[in-house]
Amino acid sequence: MSFRYRVYATPRVSDTAYGAEVDISDYVQNVGIKNIIRGFDSGDYDVGIYVFGDIDLVCYDRDGKLSDEFDSRTIFRSGRDLAKIRVVFSAADGDTTTFNGLITESATRDDFLSGLRTFRVLSQDSVIRTAYVTGGQVTAGDTCTAAIKKILNVPMITKVLTFDLAQISVGLDFTIDDPTAFENRSVKDVMTEILTATSSVMIIDSTGTIVVRSRTEDQSRPTLNLYGKSDIFARENIVAIQNYNTGWNRIFTSFSVNGQVATSSAFATGYGFRQKTLTFKWITSNATALLVATKLLNQFSVPKIELQVQIATQIAKGVKLLDRVSINYPLRIKPAAGSFLPVVGISKIGGSDLLPSTVGQISISPAIAFKVTEIQDDPSQFLTTLKLRQVGSTTSDGFFNVAGNAIVGFAIVGQAVISGVGTGPEYNPAYVGGAKVGFTKVA
């Protein structure tokens, strides 16, 4: 199956209306699209900061079609500024839009020597960066949900994005005490604070609709299954795993919100006292501040595994933020020389099969549930890097809740009883690497 990226431009025909979409792929350099990024929680010590990366489109405008409105050959008769750009990953089984943005004329550059024209294309959320909250737009007593509606459902934003109140569902809702703290500030800054305080994330979906939701994974969508180099069925589809860490760098065992402190003494003892201090001038109620602090503490007090996994874009093209991912990355198992790989249920205890050797520093169990927190496409390599974080907020969640999904390591060898004869999933013969000694039933 062959792949390529296509770029489409939709010029404006007036200040408010757009014309027909035009394929400008043949004008774009083969390395003319840099990484496309969308995600949130991008920094180690940041929470709720969302990122929809801008791109530079490097084009060779051989016939003036991409010129400004003063060139009669151009397709941008009403100017290039705010013209829409759509980047599509094209495969034999269909096209997937990977980026939607708007040209910003102020950053467009021409290189007379090479004849290249570089367009700066801002992501869809750029209007959120340039819009601002006016005085009186939000009133005291408004809930966070109502405030989000008032802030986002304005013509400057809705001329580019779609606002649907049904898509606004914050993780924690409460009333706003002093909305004057929002006035004359950019919508992005205000939304960043509201998202953080409400334990929510903001996503712009493929239709350009603004979605605000809690940080939990989307269980309504299918799970992406990824396999490492030593998958026993040779289903390998992972190119690389990077920046694997246990998540200790991102835990906070204490949150201080407007001076109201929520601390987990148990986790502070176990993981150390690490406090994040936040100030929200629009919250004056101590009770509300404590509520916010407690909610944030519940989200970030337990370390959750984080990693970046690089896969072919063809595999990742349907993935959305907060989708669940399973990674089956076992140790490399090598049968002993002259011996078969023993399979529990087939090999005889005390028989001739020798235990295999296992090689490798780390393995990842497919039982661990991850959620996607960032998607980064590299169009030049047809590769996508997914930033993943283990789901859940406690020490016991964070795994797929599937019958027969035991985690070796909870049971104690020497005390647990090898399952006897039965008909439930816990009595199925195990596979190498998935033995169910002392099987623990998932609740």
Q: Which is nearer to other proteins, 268 or 437 (CB)?
A: 437
| Among 209, 380, 431, 442, interactor with other proteins by CB under 8 A | 431
Least Å distance, CB 60 to other proteins, is 23
| Among 345, 350, 420, 422, interactor with other proteins by CB under 8 A | 345
Question: Contact 176/141 with Cβ under 8 angstroms?
Answer: yes
Q: Which is nearer to other proteins, 3 or 60 (CB)?
A: 3
Residues with Cβ within 8 Å of residue 275, at least 6 apart in sequence: 252, 253, 254, 255, 256, 261, 263
Positive or negative torsion for Cα 85, 209, 181, 193: negative
Distance CA 358, CA 340 (A): 14
Q: Does 155 bind other proteins (CB under 8 A)?
A: no
Distance CA 58, CA 114 (A): 11
- Three-state DSSP class for residue 196: helix
Question: Contact 217/391 with Cβ under 8 angstroms?
Answer: yes
Give me the 277-316 binding string for other proteins, x by CB under 8 A, dash otherwise. Answer: ----------------------------------------
Q: What size, in residues, is the chain? A: 443
Question: Contact 430/408 with Cβ under 8 angstroms?
Answer: no
Q: Which is nearer to other proteins, 314 or 390 (CB)?
A: 314
What's the distance, CA 238 to chain centroid? Answer: 17
| Among 17, 31, 113, 234, interactor with other proteins by CB under 8 A | 234
What's the distance, CA 378 to chain centroid? Answer: 16
Residues of span 77-96 touching other proteins by CB under 8 A: 92
Residues of span 390-429 touching other proteins by CB under 8 A: 429
Interface stretch with other proteins, choices 124-132, 180-188, 224-232, 411-419 (CB under 8 A): 224-232
Residue whose C-alpha is closest to residue 144's, from 101, 202, 105, 185: 202
Q: Does 126 bind other proteins (CB under 8 A)?
A: no
Q: Which is nearer to other proteins, 80 or 436 (CB)?
A: 436
Interface stretch with other proteins, choices 57-65, 76-84, 111-119, 357-365 (CB under 8 A): 357-365
Q: Does 233 bind other proteins (CB under 8 A)?
A: yes
Q: Residue 438, by phi and psi: left (phi above 0), alpha (psi -120 to 50) or beta? A: left
Q: Which is nearer to other proteins, 185 or 332 (CB)?
A: 332
Q: Does 237 bind other proteins (CB under 8 A)?
A: yes
| Among 1, 20, 349, 421, interactor with other proteins by CB under 8 A | 1
Least Å distance, CB 434 to other proteins, is 11
Q: Does 226 bind other proteins (CB under 8 A)?
A: no
**H helix and E strand count, the chain:** 7, 22
Facing residues of 121 across strands?
55, 103
Q: Which is nearer to other proteins, 328 or 385 (CB)?
A: 328
Question: Contact 202/212 with Cβ under 8 angstroms?
Answer: yes
Q: Does 248 bind other proteins (CB under 8 A)?
A: no
| Among 286, 332, 394, 424, interactor with other proteins by CB under 8 A | 332
Residue whose C-alpha is closest to residue 280's, from 311, 259, 304: 259
Q: Which is nearer to other proteins, 220 or 361 (CB)?
A: 361
Please give the single-letter amino acid code of residue 149: K
Q: Which is nearer to other proteins, 237 or 298 (CB)?
A: 237
User: What burial letters (b/e) apply to 300-326, b meaning 16+ CB within 10 Å?
Assistant: bbbbbbbbbbbbebbbbbebebbbbbb
Q: Does 318 bind other proteins (CB under 8 A)?
A: no
Distance CA 363, CA 400 (A): 17
Q: Does 335 bind other proteins (CB under 8 A)?
A: yes
Q: Does 230 bind other proteins (CB under 8 A)?
A: yes
| Among 334, 394, 397, 410, interactor with other proteins by CB under 8 A | 334
Q: Which is nearer to other proteins, 116 or 315 (CB)?
A: 315
Q: Which is nearer to other proteins, 192 or 405 (CB)?
A: 405
Distance CA 381, CA 98 (A): 15
Please, what is the end-to-end C-alpha distance for the chain in angstroms? Answer: 43
Residues near other proteins (CB under 8 A) are 1-2, 92, 229-230, 232-237, 332-335, 340-341, 343-346, 359-361, 429, 431
